[in-house]
Every structure is written in C-alpha cells, then in structure tokens.
Structure 1
Amino acid sequence: MVEEQAPAPSESAGARLRRERESQGLSMFDVARALRLSEKQIAALELDDYSKLPGRTFVRGFIRNYARLVQLDPEPLMAHLSFGQEEASHQIQAPSQKISFSEHHAKPWLKWLMMAFVIVAVASWGVLEWLGPVQPKQGMVSRTTVPVAPPSPALTVQPTVVAPPVAHEPAITKPSDTSAATDTVVPAVPATALARLTMTFSGRAWVEVRDKNGKIIHSQNNTAGADQVVEGEGPLSLVIGSAPNVKLTYKGQPVDLSAFAKADVARLTLE
C-alpha cells in the first residue's frame, strides 16, 4: 500500500498527483478512464492550469477524486490550491477555449438544423389540430338494399318406417402395442454461464472489471476487510491498483496477481 505523505511546501497539488501516478505505474489514460475525464483535463490538473477546467467547484471535486484514486489524503492538497490568476483568466476566457467533457467541437449548424426541425414539427402538428379529422360527406353515403327471398313452400313430411334393431356381436378390441410409442424429449437449452470473480481486500485498492463486450461491470475503490463478488460473461479484463492488497479467486481457483503486477498495478485477462 502506498504511504500517504503531505506535499512539500514547494510542490503544488498537480505536481504531487503526477508524481504519485507515475510512482504507481499509471498512465494519464488509466486515470482519465477511472475518473471519467479526458486526458487533457488530467494534464491540466497536473499542470495546475485551472483556466482550462470548468470552475473552482469542479476542480476541487476532480482533485479529491484523483487523490483518492492514488490513495492520497486530499485535504493537504486542497490547502495548496490557488485560484487567483487562474480563476481570473478563466472568467475572461472565451467559452470555446475550455476543455469540454466530451472533447468534441461544437457544431453551430447542427443546433440550427435541430431548431428548424422542431419548428416544422410543431407547425405541422398545429395545422393538423386546427383542421381536425376529416368527416365523410352525407351525400356520399350509399345505401344497398338486399332483396329478401320469398318464403319456401311447406315441406311434406313422409312417414318413416323404423326397422327392428339388429343385434351385433361386440367388436373385439386388440390391445395396442405400447412398445412402439416413443416419448420425444426436448433437451433444455442451458443458459449462458457467468464467470464468477471473488476479491478479498487486505488494504485499500482500486479495481475495474470489464466483460467480454468491454462493458464495465465493476469499478470502485475498496477498503481493507471488504469482499467483492463480480459475475459477468468471460473473458473478464481487470485493472487492479495496489495489487498486493488483493486476494483474487476466479471460477473457484486462486489467481496469483504478482505475475501480472507492475509497480503495484496489475493488468490481466481471465478466460
């Protein structure tokens, strides 16, 4: 487990976070994915360039989450934050110069196209409501007369001669051959088996698990003494920070994380 130390007076919050990230072997991409930010925003945090970030409240939240990810106490870092010149620059900066969360440039023409589409749809709905449903004209309704057939003449009923019943021998029923009958058994289609992953934590550690489709099914910081059970369609891809603090069992078999760890960060795929 990485020992938490307060930053030196000459070291900024961003420099302390960058040094701790590099000591754990994490890339900017790893941190950005875990915090759900862009790599440009992570770079701005590490350079203490808060003018490219949304605002003071967001910056404080980003730094707290970053510190918890690399297992640092966020309070000493918050005490070294300075929003003087950065915030003034942020207020006069054009909105187009900020780093957006999605990293996509704005498309004004798309905005106007959507507004035009909404206006046309509302106008069409208004015209239909004003006109109302079309009613058929009464003059166009035709009447069809169905001729009724005249009543048929009375039928003459002839007397019926009933013959005496003839005795018949009872039919002999042969026993059916039940041995030829066969039962058709439809095999049940087994459900897709989910791979089970069990984790026990002896210290704080961050874990992210993805299923075979790349979907994140588990991502969080875990405290000492916690147990986690994760199920998903294999193969499962894992990124584990502070790997020595994690005891891993996959499909009932223990997994040695030391073979996959680099600077206490393990990356592996379990089939």
Structure 2
Amino acid sequence: MTETATSVEERTSSTVQPGDLTAQLVQCREKAGLDIEQAAEELHLSTHILRALEAEDFAHLPEPPYVRGYLRGYSKLADIDAKELIRVYEALRGAKPDEIAHHFAPARPLNKVAQPAMSSSTLKFIGFGALVLLLGLFSMIPGVRDWANHTWSAFSAQTNPPDVPRPPSAMDAYVAQKEAMEREKDQAAQQLQQQQAATLAAATPATPTLVTPPVAAPVAPTVATPEAEKATVETKTAATPSTDVAATPTADTTVVTPTSAPVANSVTPPATAATTPAATTPETTATPSATTTTPPATVATAAADAAAPLVAGEISIKMEFTEEVWMQIKGDDKKTLFESLNTSGNIKEFKATPPLNVKIGNAPGVKIFVNGQPFDLAPHTKGSVARFRVE
C-alpha cells in the first residue's frame, strides 16, 4: 500500500499541471459532439456546475464524492475510463496519496468473499427437529410406545390435583330447601287425606243385613170348604202389606220379611211369592246409599298446595323454558343467585330481594313472570341475548 501511494504521488507531482483536467473534460464533451447546454441536459446537471468543473473552480463545486460522480458521467460521454480524470482531479485538489490510492485499489473478487457462518439459532432449530424425528421413529416401536404410555399415565396421576369438593352455591341450597319443603307438604297432605278417609269409614253405617225367612213346607191339599176359602182370602190380604213394606227399606233399618204361619185347609201357599221380592229389593236400594256417603278428598290437597305469602321486600320470579336457555341472575352485591343451563320444558320459581341483574342466552326460549305478571323481554334483547335489571 505504501509503495502504491508513493508511485501515485511521484506520478501525480511530475505529470499533472493546472489546466490538464479542463483539457480532458472539454475533449470528452467535444468528442461526444455536445456543447455545455447539451452536456448538462445529458448528465442531468446544471450548466454552472459543468462550467466550474471545466474551469477547475473547485471552490464552487460540492464535496469530492459528488465531483467524482460528475467525472464518471463525463467519461461515459466519450466512452473512456474515469480513473484518469479522477486521478487528475485528486492531484489538483491536493489530496493525500492514501486517498488517491484508495480509488485505484483493485476490487476484491466476489468468489473470495467469505460465506457467513450458520447462526446458533439455526443450529438449535435443526437439532430440535432431528430430536423430534428421532423420537417419532422410536415411538413406532411397540415396546417403546407402551413404556411411554405407562410413564405418561403415571406422571399424569401424580401431577393432577385432587378433586376438591365445591361447596354448594346459595341458589343450589335454596332450590334444595324448596324441594324439601314441597316434599314435606305433599307428605302432610297425604297423611291428612288418609286420616280423613279413616274417620269417614268409621262414621259410615254398616250395610243392611237381609234375613230371608224359611219357606213354608207345602200343605197337603184338602177339600175346599167355605170356612177354608174365607181363611185363605184373609191370609192373602194380610200378606200383601208385608210385601210392600219389604220393597222400600232404608239403609238404616234391618229388613225382615214376615212369614205368615201356614194356614190349614189352604190350597195355594203364598209364602214363596212373598219372600222372593223381599229378598231382592233391599240389595238394589242399599248400593246408592253407600255410594253417596263417600266424601271427596280434594279439600286437603288444595289447602296443602297453597303458596306461602311473600316476605316484605321480596319478589317472585317464575321461568318457563321452551328451549335450551342459559340464564344467570345476580344480586346488587354481584353475588350469583342463579346460574344454569336449562332444558326445554323446565319450570323454575324462586323468591329474591331486588334489585336483580339478569342475563339470558337464547332469550326467545324462556317466559318470565314477575309477581305473576308477564315480563316483556323484547326491549332488553339484542340478537338472542337479553340483559335487564329488575328493581
């Protein structure tokens, strides 16, 4: 490098004279057949820069890097090498030999440029990929796969946290208490109904007992006489009222069919005809009497199902679900009172103290009643989600 700078300095000091750069630039421009204005238009420069350059007026020119660019443009006009013009310019402006030698140093061949080394992150990525590939190949071996599954199962069993029982929420406790109260009311209603049925059965009179008189044995026929005929007529007359009385008994009396003593010298025995209707008539008349005394048992059930009155400050909310609906109800203290995914056909009802913040997913699938009055969800629904506040 020192030898090159020394040779350039000797050659510059011995050969370069003021006016050499002007002569070379004018020669390049004239060789291209251009004047100052045409050269300025061709090089996309102003005319005063070209005049200062050809006059070697370096004080009115920009920095040396720009001037060297102008000189390369001049060399292209005459299709010559720009090194000579740059050498003369650097010598005239008084540049140091090192600066002049720098512009004429041979270019480094591109094939000798050292390739950048592979970065550490790339090496890590390649190593990780090779490890994953190796593990995948090992996992295809049956024994290794079974061992890996067993090891992973044992590790998961040790690391999984134990299931901690969650305390029931306030809404769940309320629902459980409500169901227990309803079961107690149902049991009380059933016991009351059984007691009333037992009392009624004890007060109901017994069914009348029918006594069928023995049938008189047939009397041997005798010769009819006027006295016998008269006795027979009297016997028939006396038996007729007994049949009428036996035909209309009540449930509170025991019916006994009278039997008239066999009459001597009687040709026709009337006992058989009189006892047959007396035995059949009370059975048909006693059935409605026993039926009408059975009391209805619906009064106790209706009394047991009556709802308890509301406490001061509470409201009753009833929800009827016709589709699958997610619903959440929070109190004014941000405490969740009710939250669940409800299926179609469910009906839920509870009491709470307002204000309440309600959020419903799939609002068209539920009907809400506040204190028995329908609540309109349409003004509070956006899309399928409803949000509102119950005061």
TM-score normalised by length of structure 1: 0.30
Larger Rg: 2
Which one has the bigger strand percentage? 1
Which one has the bigger helix percentage? 2
